[in-house]
Amino acid sequence: MLSALLVMAGIAVVLGAMLGFASVRFKVKGDPLVDKIDAILPQTQCGQCGFPGCRPYAQAIAKGEAEINQCPPGGEEGIRKLADLLGKEFKPLSVEHGVEKPKQIAFIDEALCIGCTLCTQACPVDAIVGAAKQMHTIVAPLCTGCELCVSPCPVDCIAMVPVPETVETWKWKYPVVQIKVAGHA
Amino acid sequence: MLATLFKFRGGIKPDAHKDESTRTPIAAAPLPARLVVPLRQNAGSAPLALVGPGQKVLKGERIGAPEGNFSAAVHAPTSGTVLAVEPRMLPHPSALSAPCVVIESDGEERWIERTPVDYAAESPDALRDRLRDAGIVGLGGATFPSHIKLQPGAAGRIGTLVINGAECEPWITCDDMLMRERAAGIVRGIGILRHIVSAERVLVGIEDNKPQAIAALRAAAAQAHGIEVVPVPTRYPAGGEKQLIRVLTGIEIPYGRLGTEFGVQCFNVGTAYATHRAIELGEPLVSRIVTLAGNVARPGNWEVPIGTPIDALLELAAPQAGTDRYIMGGPMMGFTLPRTDLPVTKAANCILAASPALFPPQGPEMPCIRCGACTHACPAELQPHELYWFARAKNFGKAQEYHIFDCIECGCCAYVCPSNIRLVDYYRFAKTSMRALEREKAAADAARERFEFRNVRSEREAKEKAERLAAKTAAARQAMAGGGQPAGTTPSVPAAPTTTAEAAAPLPQLDEAKRALIAAAIERARAQKEAVQPKNIDNLAPEKRAEIREIEARRAQVRELAKTPPEEPV
C-alpha cells in the first residue's frame, strides 16, 4: 500500500518537474497571434484604424479591443483574411475609418517645397528625403501611400498620385467564365 | 553520331504548317522611314536611354545602357535622327506603354566603327561583357540576357551546351531558315559560346521535320570538333528548354533549379548566330529573322531591323481577306496583338495572320469533367486540371503547392481539353496575381521594418535629448550655486514636491536657483535680440529709412516700458 503511494507520488513529482521545466524552457515570447494578424495588415502605418500603426492595431484585435473592419488600405480582402484567421464573421469596411482606394503614393511638387521638414517628421516609414530649407522628395518605392505627410505640409505641395500599371506589374485578367444564355441551347 | 535519345512525357502533335513559309529564302525587309525601338527588350531590368531628341545616331550605336547586370544594351537599328524618347505602346498582351526611342532613318545605313574580336584571345569575362553591351538576349522568345546564362553555376562548370534548333511551334520557321542559310555563322557562334563556358560537348537538337536544316548544320559542323547535330522526334513542345535538355541528355531539371547546376545550358540557334555577329563582326543585335505566315498571300521569312512597325511588314506578306487578328509568336504560345502599328522587338519570331478558317473559334467553355486528358498532355508533368480548379478558385497557396510555376504555358492542356477550357489563361492569371502578391508582401515587410526602426530611433533620440538637457541644467545650476553648494547635492532634475517637512526644506533654495537661471536666460535672449542689427538697408530710399527709424524708436519705447513692471495688472 505504502509502496504504491510512494511510486505514485514519485511519478507525480517527476512529471510535475518536467512540466515545470517545459513551461520555462519552451515559453512562447510575445503573442504569436499578434504576429499573424500583423502579417495580414498592409503595413501602410497610416493610422486610419485609430491606432498608431499596424502593430498596435494587431495587438488591439488580438485583445478583442478593436473590430477587424477598421483597415481601409487592407480592404475587403484583408478583412476576409482576418475573419478567416480569427474565425469571425466577415463585416464590410467600417465607413467611419475610411474607404478603400487604389494604391497611391505621395508626390512632392519640388518647385513649391520650402524645406520645412514637417513631412519628413510625419512619414512613418522614412520614405521622404530632405533637410531643413532644402528641397524634399519622396522615395517612391518606399512610400506606402498613408497620406500622413499631406496635411502637415504648410504650402500644400504634396499630392497623392495613383500608381500606374506597368508592363512589369501588369496582371492577366481573371478569365471570363461564359454563362450559357437560356434559349441558345 | 550515335546519340541515345531520351523522352519527355506528354506533348502533342499539331499540324506543323512549316512548308508555306520555307519556299523562299530569307529576304531583307525594306528600311522603314521611322523606327520605334523599345528600351525594354530583355527579361530583367529595362535599360536607360542614352540619347535625346534631335541627336544623330549611327547604325549600331548604343541608345540604351544596360541597367545593372540583369539587363542588356539596346542599339540604333539604322542611322538617322532621334525624334523622341517617349512611352509608346509595346507589342505585349497588356497593351501598355513603356519608354521607346523613335528614330527617323536617313536611309544611309551608316554603321558605327565595328571592332571584330578574336574570341580565342579574350577572357570569358570580357566576352560576357561584350555580349551584354551588344544586346544579345535569347532569341527563342524569352529574351533572357545571354551573358547571365553563360555564368558558371554554383556547381562549377557547364560541361554540355545544348543548342536549340527544335522550333517546335507550328507556323514558325525563322530558326529553320536561319539554319539552312547561315549554318556556318551559327557554328561559329556556337564556338564562341562554348569557349566562354569551356564546354566539352555541344548537342544541337533539331526536330526531324527539318531535314534541310539538319543537313546544312551537319555540313557546317563537320569541321568543328565535338559538335553533334541530333535530330529529335517532332513533338510539341520538344523545343522547350527543359524538354530539349531532357531529350538530349536525359537530365531532368527539378523544380526551382537551373540547368547550370547540372552542368548544362541551352541556347537558341538564333542567339548563337547573333553571338557570332556581335563578337566576330562587331555588329550588335539590331535585326532579327521574323516569319510572316498564316492567312497571307506571300508567306516567308524576313530579316527585319528591330523597331520596324508590324504594319510595314504585313504589306510585304499581303494579308488576305478574312484575316481577323494578328498573333505575335505562334498559335500555341503567342498572343493577339492589340494593334498592328507596334514595333518588332527582339522577342518577335513570328507574325501570324489569323482567320476563322485557319483558326476556328473555340466553342464555349464547358465544365471540367476531370477526364485527365490534360494530365497526359502536360510536358511539365503537372496536373493541369487541379491547377485549373485552384486558379479558378484563386486558391493560390494550393496552386503553388502543385507547382504552378513549373508550367511553361505551352498550351498542350488547352489544346486537348474536350471542354474547351482556356486553361493557360487561368494559369497566367494565377501566376501574375501570385507574383503581384509576393511583391506586395515584400513591400509590406520592408515597410514594417522601416517603421519599427523609425520608432526605435525616435525613442532613442528623445532619450538622448532628455539626457543632454538634464546634464546642461545640472552644469548651469552648479555654476550658479558657485562654491557654496557642493556639486553632488544638486539634483539634475527638479524633484517632485513632497509634503514632508524634511523634503520641503531645500525647495525654496532650489526655486531661487531656478529663478536665477530663468532670469539669466531672459537676459541672454534680450541681449541677443538687441545685438541684431538690421541688414540690407543701405540702398533704401530716405523716406523708407525714416520709417524704419520711427519703428525702431517705438520698439525701444516698448522695451523700456517692459523693463519697469506694471503697477497693477490690466
Is B71 within a domain? no
Q: Is the pLDDT of residue B170 over 50?
A: yes
User: What's the rounded mean pLDDT across residues B74-90?
Assistant: 95
Instruction: Give the mean pLDDT of B220-246.
Output: 91
Provide the 10 A C-beta neighbour count for residue B458: 11
Contact A175 B454 (CB under 8 A): no
**Which candidate in A36, A125, A128, A149 is best for mutational testing of the B interface (most B CBs within 10 A)?**
A125
Among the candidates B430, B463, B496, a domain finishes at: B463
In sequence order, the β-bridge partners of residue A158 are A108
Contacts of B428 in chain A (CB under 8 A): 172
| Among A40, A59, A168, the residue to mutate for chain B (most B Cβ within 10 A) | A168
What does the pLDDT read at residue B334? 92
Identify the band that residue B566 occupies on the pLDDT scale cut at 50, 70 and 90: low
Q: B194 lies in a domain? A: yes
Judge whether residue B167 has pLDDT over 80: yes
Q: What is the CATH number of the domain that holds B218?
A: 3.40.50.11540
Domain total of chain B = 2
What CA–CA distance (Å, rounded) separates B125 from B333? 34
Euclidean distance between CA atoms A86 and B311, whole angstroms: 57
Which residues partner with B64 through β-bridges?
Answer: B49, B74
Q: What is the pLDDT of residue B543?
A: 86
Residue B535 pLDDT greater than 80, yes or no: no
Mean residue pLDDT of chain B comes to 88
Q: Is the pLDDT of residue A182 over 80?
A: no
Which pLDDT does position B47 carry in this prediction?
93
* Domain identity same for B240 and B340: yes
Whether the link from the prior residue into B237 is cis, omega within 30° of 0, is yes
Q: Is residue B258 part of a domain?
A: yes
Per the domain annotation, does B531 fall within a domain?
no
Verify whether the Cβ–Cβ distance A142 to B364 is below 8 Å.
no
Distance, in angstroms, between A11 CA and closest chain B CA? Answer: 45
pLDDT at B289 over 90: yes
Inter-chain contact B96–A44, Cβ cutoff 8 Å? Answer: no
> Is the per-residue pLDDT at B235 higher than 70?
yes
pLDDT digits (tens, 9 = 90+) for A71-86: 999 988 899 999 999 9
Q: Are residues B129 and B187 in the same domain?
A: yes
- Are residues B328 and B227 both part of a single domain? yes
Give the global pTM. Answer: 0.80
* Same-domain pairing of B214 and B331: yes
pLDDT at B27: 94
Structural contact between residues B70 and B145, judged by C-beta atoms closer than 8 angstroms: yes
Helix pair B183-197, B174-181: axis angle to 10 deg: 100
Q: Which residue of A has its CA nearest to B95?
A: A167
Cβ–Cβ gap B447/A172 under 8 Å: no
Q: What's the pLDDT at B292?
A: 95
> Are A51 and A97 contacting, i.e. CB atoms less than 8 angstroms apart?
no
Q: Within a domain: residue B513?
A: no
Which residues constitute the domain of residue B439?
367-463
**Per-residue model confidence (pLDDT) at position B502:** 45
Indicate if B160 and B217 belong to the same structural domain. Answer: yes
Asked if residue B426 and residue B397 are part of one domain, the reply reads yes
Residues of A in contact with B450 (CB under 8 A): 125-127, 142
Tell me the per-residue pLDDT of B129-143, one tens digit each, with 9 for 90 and over: 999 999 999 998 889
Q: What is the pLDDT of residues B483-497, one digit of tens each?
A: 544 444 444 444 444
- Would the pLDDT of B2 be above 70? no
Q: Label residue B155 by pLDDT band (50, 70, 90).
A: low
Identify the domain boundary among B297, B327, B354: B354
Say if residue B120 is in the same domain as residue B204. Answer: yes
Distance CA(A127)–CA(A146), nearest Å, equals 11
Given a cut of 70, whether residue B375 has pLDDT beyond it is: yes
Q: Nearest residue on chain B to A54, judged by CA atoms? A: B448
Q: What is the pLDDT of residue B499?
A: 44
- pLDDT higher for B517 or B97? B97
**Contacting residues for B220 by C-beta, under 8 A, at least 6 apart:** B183, B184, B186, B187
Whether A171 and B432 lie within 8 Å, measured CB to CB: yes
Q: What is the pLDDT of residue A185?
A: 40
Q: B536 pLDDT exceeds 70?
A: no
| pLDDT at residue B533, as a whole number | 65
Mean pLDDT across B150-162: 80
B287 and B348 inside one domain:
yes
Residues B451, A166: C-beta atoms closer than 8 Å: no
- What value does the mean pLDDT take over residues B65-86? 94
B64 within domain boundaries:
no
Residue B436 touches chain A, beta carbons under 8 Å:
yes
pLDDT of A184 higher than 70: no
Among candidates B214, B335, B192, B343, which has minimal Cα distance to B271? B192
Predicted local confidence at residue A77, as pLDDT: 87
Q: Do A169 and B454 touch (CB under 8 A)?
A: no
**pLDDT score of B71:** 93
The answer to the question of residue B504 being in a domain is no
Whether the pLDDT of residue B568 is over 60: the answer is no
Q: What is the CA radius of gyration of chain B?
A: 37
Nearest to B429 among A125, A144, A174 (CB): A174
Give me the total of CB pairs closer than 8 Å, taking one residue from chain A and one from chain B. Answer: 73
Task: Give the per-residue pLDDT at B209.
Answer: 93
Q: Could you tell me if B349 and B443 lie in one domain?
A: no
Cβ–Cβ contact A124 with B under 8 A: yes
How far apart are the CA of A136 and the nearest CA of chain B, in angstroms? 18
Quickly state the pLDDT bin for B569 (edges 50, 70, 90): low
User: Is the domain of B277 the same as that of B133?
Assistant: yes
Predicted local distance difference test score (pLDDT) of residue B363: 85
The dihedral of CA A12, A13, A14, A17: what is its sign? positive
> Looking at B463, B479, B510, which one is the last position of a domain?
B463
pLDDT band at B153 (very low <50, low <70, confident <90, very high): low
Render the burial of A144-172: b for 16+ CB within 10 Å, e for the rest.
bbbbbbeeebeeebbeeeeeeeebeeebb
Residue B306 lies in a domain: yes
- Asked whether the predicted pLDDT for residue B161 surpasses 80, the reply is yes
Q: Which residue of A has its CA nearest to B90?
A: A167
C-beta atoms surrounding A176 within 10 Å: 9
Mean pLDDT of B340-365: 92
Q: Identify the pLDDT of residue B534.
A: 62
CA geometry: angle at B566 spanning B561 and B567, to 5°?
Answer: 140
Share of residues in chain A with pLDDT > 90 (%): 57
Q: Domains along chain A? A: 32-97 (1.10.15.40), 104-162 (3.30.70.20)
